Amino acid sequence: MESKPAILKILDGLTVILLVVATGLVFFYAPEEAVMGQVQRVFYFHVAAGWVGMLGFLVAAVAGIIYLRSGRHNWDIVGLSAVEIGMIFAFINIVTGSIWARPIWNTWWTWDPRLTTATIMELIYAAYLMLRQGIEDADRRARFGAVYAIVGFLSVPLTFFSARLFRTIHPVVIGTNQPGAEGSFDMTPRMLQTFLFSLLTFTFIFADLLWHRIRLGKLAEKVEQLKLREV
Amino acid sequence: MPDTPGASLSRAIPANGNSILYGYWRALSAVVWKDLAAELRSRELLSSMLVFALLVILIFNFALELDAKARANVTSGVLWVTFTFAGTLGLNRSMAVEKDRGCLDGLLLAPVDRSAIYFGKALGNLIFMLVVEAIVLPVYSVLYNTNLFLPGLLLIILLGSIGYVAVGTLLASMAVQTRTRDVLLPILLFPVVIPVVIAAVKGSSGFLQAIPMDEIMPWINLLVVYDVIFTAVAFMVFDYVVEE
């Protein structure tokens, strides 16, 4: 295994700095929201984590398509890495959302379309990991994983749409709000800046983690090959 | 297959569009015919699906206290849970039979387009599912004294079954090739097929409660969109699932 590339080291450092600055912005730069108070600050990382989750699943689906077309094993590692990172961040998204929902909606959980979709998305990718665990042959594992990542990702918007035909109470901060949404607010310029900065930060975190996870995946593969040689 | 000479003849004809389509259709119907013939002789798939479906309804009867008032609201839910569970049983069985006796390898060796095998299996599964539904519906109607024979409801059931089977056949052919095959299919299938279940339940209860048509249309549209997208995707990726 080649040593850690210089660009990755720079990316590591940059990501840490960005995260510190973003945290500072969230707590000290962004103004306190008039109605909801301090708990509204969870919004910045909540949406950013959700964005990284979706990004991860999108990357996994694209990597799946490229793998099926090219058959190059590296794309399988990319797909698996993206799913793992996506699951963690989608989970962070759900947990931070619950923390916000307790005081604002007066409940930890409700079967709102976005919450429903987020849960089902987590279940799809849990199934993805279980599918991979059930297959020993590396080539078949990669093919099935790619197929399921594509099928699963395509079903997410349909799940969202079908759940949305029910009434929703989740606020839509960006774009037009549906009537009946509770806990919405208009962003001031400072809030918007903090929000966009959080999105940028989390995108960097995603790229950094993905790179590390791909390197780890390649290492794991090498170990496996060494074990096979021993036998 | 009784029509093998015909199949080889169609391959000998210079390939113009019509004969390719014809050969494709023959391959597809041969797969369906094989499944139906095997089922007619053994009757193990349909009978297990049916008994299972009736047992699910029986359990619901006690779990939900299906009195007249509750029935109006939950009938479509009970029906779709029954179809979904019974469908899983059928899908698993239909692919496991191919895998266990090495039939799948034989099918793959046939000089036909792989997607014809997929569509053949899917069509066979769809027929089994429709047969089960055709028996469950009158039984449910008699047991609970509700009229389920509304054309709209039947349309929803057809559309929902198509979407369910399109994804189910693809995922079942993956699941049977894994170590944890019997457990894996529902886990793979249910989260992906949720849009179908939601739309089918809402659409069915719309027809059962005689809700105005323009409120049911979105659900029908959703079912059609799902059917089209996932049939197309399964058609494109099936090759990679059965490849050795």
Give the pLDDT confidence of B168-214 residue by residue, as tens digits: 999 999 999 898 887 899 999 999 999 999 999 989 988 988 888 88
Q: Do A154 and B240 touch (CB under 8 A)?
A: no
pLDDT at residue B6 tops 50: no
End-to-end CA distance of chain A: 22
CB A72 within 8 A of CB A111: no
Instruction: Please tell me the predicted confidence (pLDDT) of residue A153.
Output: 94
Instruction: Please tell me the predicted confidence (pLDDT) of residue B99.
Output: 84
pLDDT at residue B7 tops 70: no
Neighbours of B29 (CB within 10 A): 16
Average pLDDT over residues B100-122: 87
Q: With contacts defined as CB-CB under 8 Å, which chain A residues touch B198? A: 159, 162-163
- Calculate the average pLDDT of chain A: 88
* Structural domain boundaries in chain A: 10-27+40-170+201-230
Q: Do A147 and B237 touch (CB under 8 A)?
A: yes
* Residue among B188, B193, B240 whose CB faces A143 most closely: B240
* Residue among B174, B187, B222 whose CB faces A144 most closely: B174
* Residue among A123, A134, A147 whose CB faces B191 most closely: A123
Q: Do B222 and A144 touch (CB under 8 A)?
A: no
Structure tokens at B82: 């029954």
Our CA dihedral for B212, B217, B218, B224, rounded to 10 degrees, sits at 160
**Chains A–B, number of C-beta pairs less than 8 Å apart:** 87
Give the ipTM.
0.86
Instruction: Please tell me the predicted confidence (pLDDT) of residue B1.
Output: 39
Q: With contacts defined as CB-CB under 8 Å, which chain B residues touch A113? A: none
Q: With contacts defined as CB-CB under 8 Å, which chain B residues touch A129? A: none
Q: Do A147 and B222 touch (CB under 8 A)?
A: no
E runs forming strands in chain A: none
User: What does the longest C-alpha to C-alpha distance in chain A come to?
Assistant: 67
User: At A166, is the pLDDT very low, low, confident or very high (cuts 50, 70, 90)?
Assistant: low
pLDDT at residue B215 tops 90: no
Task: Output b/e per residue, B213-240; b: 16+ Cβ within 10 A.
Answer: eeebebbbebbeebbebbbebbbebbbb
Interface contact B219, partner A, CB < 8 A: yes
pLDDT at residue A11 tops 50: yes
Instruction: Please tell me the predicted confidence (pLDDT) of residue A124.
Output: 95
Instruction: Please tell me the predicted confidence (pLDDT) of residue A176.
Output: 58
Average pLDDT over residues A92-118: 89
Instruction: Please tell me the predicted confidence (pLDDT) of residue A12.
Output: 93
Q: Do B188 and A161 touch (CB under 8 A)?
A: no
Distances from the Cα of B178 to the Cα of B59, B184, B185, angstroms? 31, 8, 10
